[in-house]
Amino acid sequence: MPFTKEDVEILAYRRYISNEAYEKSVWYLAELCVTINKNIKNGYDVKPLETDNLILLLNENVNGELLKPTEEEIRELAERIYHENPSKSELHWYIAEKTLLLKEIGNLIKSNSQSKKKET
């Protein structure tokens, strides 16, 4: 089931009250975005500081698990995000949104993998 604006608001509020350091939030957002981008076709259209409304199409090389980014890939995006200087509340919102989006991708990968196993 797709997530709602309320789901994002709740998760963003939880991040807000956690009082996480700004730099850590930037890194986490970068990690989420790079992971999303590695797992869906045209994933590099997912921008860290934009709201996304995607129809998810898995990459063909995704095989039952999320593809994980390298630390260097995360670092490059984290530096770009940091230099755009988003507010902490923007970071909380985008992290919440990308977290829920990545969860949907993970569920889709899992169900796709299970259906492939049933076919064999």
Cα distance from N-terminal residue to C-terminal residue, the chain = 27
Cβ distance 34 to 81 under 8 Å? no
> Which one has a higher pLDDT value, 56 or 73?
73
Other C-beta atoms lying within 10 Å of the C-beta of residue 17: 8
Which of 21-25, 46-50, 59-63 bottoms out in mean pLDDT, i.e. has the lowest? 46-50
Domain boundaries defined on the chain: 1-47
Q: How confident is the model at residue 55 (pLDDT cuts 50, 70, 90)?
A: very low
What's the pLDDT tens digit per position in 40-54? 766 555 555 555 444
Q: Is the dihedral of CA 3, 7, 11, 12 positive or negative?
A: positive
pTM, whole model, 2 decimals?
Answer: 0.71
